[in-house]
Chain A
Amino acid sequence: MIAALGLAVKNPATWVFLAFAAVTCGSALVVAVSRSLVYSAYALLLTFFGVAGLYAFLDADFLAAAQLLVYVGGILVLILFGVMLTHKIRDINLSNESTNPVVGAVISGFLFLALAYVSLMTDWQVVEHPASATSGEIGRAFVGKYLLPFEVSSVLLLGALIGAAYLARREKREA
């Protein structure tokens, strides 16, 4: 229901949340439409930060820190390396024009409206439960119920490590 979007305006935390939401959405928009590839990448930094803030609002402290560590410290750095290794420094304002922005805007706008409609119109079975520290629970779940996916994902990481090193390696000169 739309009424569910009602805000506790008097609570300052609401405004902190709105700031995080604005940072997340605004920087995501910059990622999508910015004409400079480097600016897109640094806007993505802000998006990741905003999402980490949203996790903190959802009392997921472990995931918020993991988001910073993996996304900001790992994936964003990979993306920046991707930008910087595949372009010359003389095109410092890397142009990155959108193609067919109208069609893209129509499709993604329709997707957004559909998703937002479903989110707002569904009568979610929300249950009140108090916040508790998540890191211990996540650890217990990893070695308990989700042991097999946990092990499989570690094998996947190893495979990705070897695969990425193989792909990025310079090809051997034929003798």
Chain B
Amino acid sequence: MPVVGLEWFLVIAAFLFATGVFTILTRKNAVSILMGVELILNAANVNLVAFSRFVKPAATLGPQSVEFPLQGSAAHAVYGQPWIAGNVFAAFVIVLAAAEAAVALGLILGIYRTAGDVDVDEATALKG
């Protein structure tokens, strides 16, 4: 097992989340707000991976059917262990974060071109 308990990871993730929220609340620069969003996503990811490592999952593959002919450990050997779910979800979050950052950068550059600034308070026009 990891050297420290689950609570440590949860508290660190809570701290990351709080700093992310603080960043989003207090900054006006669009790039800075993007950084806050990344902090929050990282906090969520730490939680997901920590639960994946520490907490026993209840997930099963559903009832036996044509799609899922295997059950129990044989099914887990082929379709993946249930405890990996948190890791898989964190991987999805990383993928989504990459897509989100790319689109956000495109938006920020667009705002900069039309408004000449990246202050989110200034970007009020719906049509540039």
Contacts and interface: CB of A to CB of B under 8 A. Distances in A.
Chain A directly contacts chain B within the complex, with at least one CB pair under 8 Å: yes
Interface residues of B, number: 79
A41 B105 CA distance: 14
A50 to B, nearest CB: 9
Contacts of B98: 70, 74-75, 157, 160
Contacts of B21: 104, 107-108, 111
A93 interface: no
A67 B38 CA distance: 12
A145 B68 CA distance: 10
Interface residues of A, number: 92
Main secondary structure of the interface of A (DSSP, over half): helix
A35 B46 CA distance: 27
A50 B115 CA distance: 36
Given A78-B105, A115-B10, 10 more contacts: A51-B45, A58-B50, A74-B101, A75-B38, A78-B101, A86-B109, A108-B25, A144-B80, A156-B95, A160-B100
Interface of A: 4-8, 11, 13-14, 17, 21, 24-25, 28-29, 31-33, 37, 40-41, 44, 47-48, 51, 54-55, 57-60, 62-63, 66-67, 70-71, 74-75, 78-79, 81-83, 85-86, 96, 98-101, 103-105, 107-109, 111-112, 115-116, 119-120, 124-129, 134, 137-138, 140-142, 144-146, 149, 153, 156-157, 159-161, 163-168, 170-171
